[in-house]
Amino acid sequence: MPSITYWNRLEPRARSNDLAGALAARVRDPAWFLARQWQLGEFAGEDAGTPAYVRIAAAVSPVLGWQGANGAPTPMSVGSPPLESAALAEPFSPEDVTLRVELGNLLEILLAFYGVSDIRTHWLDAFPIGAAPAAFPDDVRSARLRALWQGRVIDGLVVYQASLAAPQPPPEPPPGVPGTVPQPRWAAASSAVQQFRAAVESVHPGAASVGAADSPSWRADRLDHQLRVFTGQPGESGSVSAAVLDAHPDRSGDLTWYAFDATSEGAPPGLPAPSRVDITRSVIPGHVKFRGMANERFWDFEDGRVDIGALRLDRRDLIGMVLVDFMLVHGNDWFLVPFEQPAGTLCRSELTVVDVFGVQTAVPRVEDVDSDVTSDKRWSLFSISGLGHGHLVVDSAAGVVQDGRPIEDVRFLRDETANLAWAVERSTESPIGRARPGQERVDTPPPPASTGIAPLRYQVQTHVPAHWIPFHAAAVPPIGSGQVALEMAALLAPDGEPGAPLVAPQPWSRILRPSSLPPGSPYRIREEEVPREGTRVIRFARWARSSSGASHLWISRKRTIGNGEGWSGLRFDRTFHVDEVVEAPTPEPITPLRWDTPPGWNGGDWT
């Protein structure tokens, strides 16, 4: 038999849109309030008590390991680095000269500490600061600093890489020390090198922390991170099993609680056995409040600085309406129970409320109450989809993560005029580890030589700045599958004359040079990843302090929304007079020129 379940709630309704009179609550007949209370049954007693304290019974299981989209499973233990710095990090750039100099200065300090600073010249001759690669020349500032450091500073990165494969002396001297040095001093020099290696690995663990490879979780065709997290799953009656979660970082590059979804696949072998820790807490609950919220009792004196009558709400302002409804109607119905969950764990919790009369009430989760509702339509907050109820995951990097300035900024946009997509390198990483504006690569092509015969000149293609990398639509193999991707394309040579050869683009950013791409294969991006509004990918440095107190520094990426379409200035088949000076069109900027920080000699950012 069909039925309809509904609830009624009696609320006061103002006769006008002005709430000032209603909130003033002028009392002309106090007996009327007593009559209304008697009519609504408020004088009748209720067997209800105020919560005195809440008993929390929780079980937590630590993360067992993770696996990137392009790597093997990596186990984790209590002393492992945070999940973000391990799974989302990418190696530091080997072209960073400042990193080499910093490590070289560290080595010199250790050489002086062990009393072998007099043989520093041997390391300086064996591991000097090299020249810039021909494919990535230095800018003006980087060239000056490189010239200053050459012949004066040891290349600490090369020393570290050489120490990984060097044998322990004796019978051979450490890297950089020739055989002419007396053998008794080999031990002191070797101790300095070993201490130097340990110091480097404490900040950049492993030899893979410096290189040209991308993060194992980075998907170059999707421009995002994807990884799997393996963790223990606490069950009932003290049981524990393994769970597999798919993690998708948010726009800020963080692994928040809503970034995890459960899968039905099993955990791979080689990971630690799942474990659980039971936690029992008794805490005093407090009302959920926010600054400026009305008091719980109607006749309490309010803060004079808060003017609730000045609220001007609109039907379209849903957030404001919910906030006012919670403040005026449900403010005394919600309680906050403090519970500190260990970082990097999966938790299952149960709550029991004890009121002032000693009555214990177990608080079921809403999915247990609404058991007749399907899981896809069931209200569920702070839980993992597909894993069941009562679970919560927090990221393993405790506290606030500090983000540095972008060292690479690539904007992907659509150009309907040229029927292409473009990857604009707004900034790339310089050899000193800072952002270098992409406009520095803009070159003006020389005009074609005039024969002096024809009065007109023909130009096949206009010039496009070098930091604008073209992408055209291409079918994804196998042919006939219907899938389309954006493939990095080539343009004609800058001279623009007919018959000029095609010139492959030369991107400088690591974002457009993925390490997972096989040699000789074109770089393809899924077409749906570059919508009409565009997208933006940023490389930046991050620093965080884990729950153990250790500092962690890594390079990460994040993806944000773009700034709409753009125009590259690309045109074809142009004819103009010989005496006419044709300048290369200036591409339309993606965003207007502005200061990201207050103007200053060292704080301005013109990119």
User: Which of 125-129, 181-185, 207-211, 395-399: highest mean pLDDT?
Assistant: 125-129
Distance between CA atoms of residues 304 and 293, nearest Å: 12
Which segment of 16-20, 278-282, 406-410 scores lowest on mean pLDDT? 16-20
pLDDT score for 172? 56
Nearest to 241 by CA among 250, 231, 256, 255: 231
Strand, helix or coil for residue 349: strand
Q: For 512-574, where are the alpha helices, taking DSSP H only?
A: none
Q: Are residues 169 and 250 in the same domain?
A: no
Q: Specify the number of domains making up the chain.
A: 3
Burial of 217 (0-12, 13-18, 19+ CB in 10 A): buried
Q: Are residues 82 and 146 in the same domain?
A: no
Q: Are residues 125 and 71 in the same domain?
A: no
Does residue 324 lie in a domain region?
A: no
pLDDT score for 602? 37
Does residue 59 lie in a domain region?
A: no
Does residue 448 lie in a domain region?
A: yes
Return the higher-pLDDT residue of 75 and 77: 75
Does residue 472 lie in a domain region?
A: yes
Nearest to 196 by CA among 123, 125, 132: 123
Q: Are residues 113 and 72 in the same domain?
A: no
What pLDDT digit, counting tens, does each position of 272-290 carry? 899 999 999 999 999 888 8
Return the higher-pLDDT residue of 447 and 428: 428
CB-side exposure of 200: number of CA atoms within 13 Å? 30
Q: CB–CB of 77/131 below 8 Å? A: no
Residue 230 has pLDDT above 90, yes or no: yes
pLDDT score for 439? 81
595: Cβ contacts below 8 Å, ≥ 6 apart: 604, 605
What integer best gives the mean pLDDT of the chain?
A: 80
Q: CB–CB of 467/438 below 8 Å? A: yes
Q: Are residues 255 and 145 in the same domain?
A: no
Question: pLDDT tier at 445 (50, 70, 90 boundaries)?
Answer: low
Q: Please tell me what DSSP assigns to residue 188.
A: H
Distance between CA atoms of residues 200 and 194, nearest Å: 10
pLDDT score for 601? 33
Strand, helix or coil for residue 230: strand
Q: Are residues 72 and 101 in the same domain?
A: no
CA distances 354 to 240, 271, 423, Å, are 28, 41, 60
Nearest to 156 by CA among 199, 101, 96: 101
Domain boundary among 267, 294, 311: 267
Q: What percent of the chain has pLDDT over 90?
A: 21
* 181 backbone φψ class: left, alpha, beta (φ>0; ψ -120 to 50): beta
Distance between CA atoms of residues 465 and 445, nearest Å: 10
Domain boundary among 209, 236, 254: 209
Range of the domain at 175: 97-209
Q: Please provide residue 558's backbone torsions phi and psi, each rounded to the nearest 5 degrees.
A: -145, 155
Q: Are residues 505 and 478 in the same domain?
A: yes
Does residue 157 lie in a domain region?
A: yes
Which segment of 274-288, 316-330, 492-506 scores lowest on mean pLDDT? 492-506
Q: Token pair for residue 523?
A: 């770089």
The C-alpha torsion from 328 through 329 and 333 to 339, rounded to 10°, is: -50
Q: Are residues 260 and 140 in the same domain?
A: no
Burial of 279 (0-12, 13-18, 19+ CB in 10 A): middle
Taking the alpha carbons of 104, 105, 110, 116 in that order, is the dihedral positive or negative? positive
pLDDT score for 488? 93
Q: CB–CB of 459/496 below 8 Å? A: yes
Residue 410 has pLDDT above 60, yes or no: yes
Packed helices 156-165 and 97-113: angle between N→C axes, nearest 10 degrees: 70
Which segment of 13-22, 431-440, 517-526 scores lowest on mean pLDDT? 13-22
Q: CB–CB of 100/158 below 8 Å? A: yes
Question: pLDDT tier at 170 (50, 70, 90 boundaries)?
Answer: very low
Q: Are residues 84 and 128 in the same domain?
A: no
Q: Are residues 233 and 196 in the same domain?
A: no
Q: CB–CB of 240/227 below 8 Å? A: no
pLDDT score for 454? 66
pLDDT score for 395? 65
Average pLDDT in the 219-244 region?
Answer: 90
Distance between CA atoms of residues 20 and 3, nearest Å: 42
Does residue 456 lie in a domain region?
A: yes
Burial of 455 (0-12, 13-18, 19+ CB in 10 A): exposed
Q: Are residues 185 and 224 in the same domain?
A: no
Return the higher-pLDDT residue of 237 and 355: 355
Q: CB–CB of 163/175 below 8 Å? A: yes
Return the higher-pLDDT residue of 207 and 453: 453
Does residue 25 lie in a domain region?
A: no
Q: Are residues 429 and 555 in the same domain?
A: yes
Distance between CA atoms of residues 465 and 587, nearest Å: 8
* 146 backbone φψ class: left, alpha, beta (φ>0; ψ -120 to 50): alpha
Does residue 142 lie in a domain region?
A: yes
Question: pLDDT tier at 607 (50, 70, 90 boundaries)?
Answer: very low
